[in-house]
Amino acid sequence: MPENPKILDQEGIQRAIQRIAHEIIEKNKDSASLCVIGIRNRGVYIAQRISGAIKQISGEEVLTGALDITLYRDDLALATGQPLVRKTEIDFDINDKNLILVDDVLFTGRTIRAALDALIDFGRPKTIQLAVLVDRGHRELPIRADFVGKNIPTSVKESVEVRLKESDGKDEVFIAEKK
């Protein structure tokens, strides 16, 4: 078995996040109304890093939240392991915000669909923009990302594995055969 091809290392991930932060500021000149919400689990950590980067660049604090989309998924019946319901933590008003939704990997688009449904239940943001660390293609719904760390062409037989310090002890992205 050959070594799994590494797509991004720690430095690559940091650069990607830095770039996404710049692009977000660029596109949302009025950053006072900005908020960043990550999808559990790893989307939350990336969201926090993006918020940190935005603050570094603009000096402004950015509202940051976490969204659990388990209750909005359309594939619960198909799930083999039972999903744990985790906390959604959005302790601010999302109405009229430019909301940046963050996830680690964009694949079929179904997670994003569930997240959009969930967000609509919380209020009416001015815009919802999508930021992902990796876009690996194979969309099943008409969804696209506004900010992409890296585009990675993959086959459906593969899976893209994202490791982050906060949850896995180190930063890396690689491709693995599907188990």
Partner 1 sequence: MSWTKKDLLGLEYLTPQEIELILDTAESFKEVSTREIKKVPALRGKTAVNLFYEPSTRTRVSFEVAAKRLSADVINIATETSSVRKGETLIDTGKNIQALKADIIIMRHNCSGAANMLARALDISVINAGDGWHEHPTQALLDIFTLKEKLGKIKGLNVAIVGDIAHSRVARSNIWGLVKLGAKVTVCAPPMLLPAGIELTGARTSSDIDAVLKDADAVNVLRMQFERDENAAFPEQLDYFKKFGITEERLEKAKKDIVVMHPGPINRGIEMSSGVADGDNSVILEQVTNGIAVRMAVLFLVSQAREAKKGRQ
Instruction: Point out which span in 8-16, 28-36, 52-60, 78-86 binds partner 1 (CB under 8 A).
Output: 78-86
Candidates 23, 89, 146, 166: give the one binding partner 1 (CB under 8 A). Answer: 89
79 binds partner 1, rule: CB under 8 A: yes
Cα–Cα dist 106/109, whole Å:
6
Cα–Cα dist 59/38, whole Å:
21
Q: Which of 115, 106, 68 is nearest to 87 (CA)?
A: 68
1 binds partner 1, rule: CB under 8 A: no
Question: 153 by DSSP, 3-state: which?
Answer: coil
70 binds partner 1, rule: CB under 8 A: yes
Cα–Cα dist 101/122, whole Å:
13
Candidates 77, 142, 157, 170: give the one binding partner 1 (CB under 8 A). Answer: 77
Q: Which of 127, 102, 104 is nearest to 28 (CA)?
A: 127
41 binds partner 1, rule: CB under 8 A: no
Candidates 81, 142, 153, 169: give the one binding partner 1 (CB under 8 A). Answer: 81
87 binds partner 1, rule: CB under 8 A: yes
Cα–Cα dist 170/177, whole Å:
20
Candidates 45, 72, 107, 147: give the one binding partner 1 (CB under 8 A). Answer: 72
Candidates 10, 83, 127, 176: give the one binding partner 1 (CB under 8 A). Answer: 83
CB of 67 to partner 1, least distance (A): 11
30 binds partner 1, rule: CB under 8 A: no
Residues between 107 and 126 that touch partner 1 (CB under 8 A): 117-118, 121-123
Cα–Cα dist 175/27, whole Å:
31
Cα–Cα dist 163/160, whole Å:
10
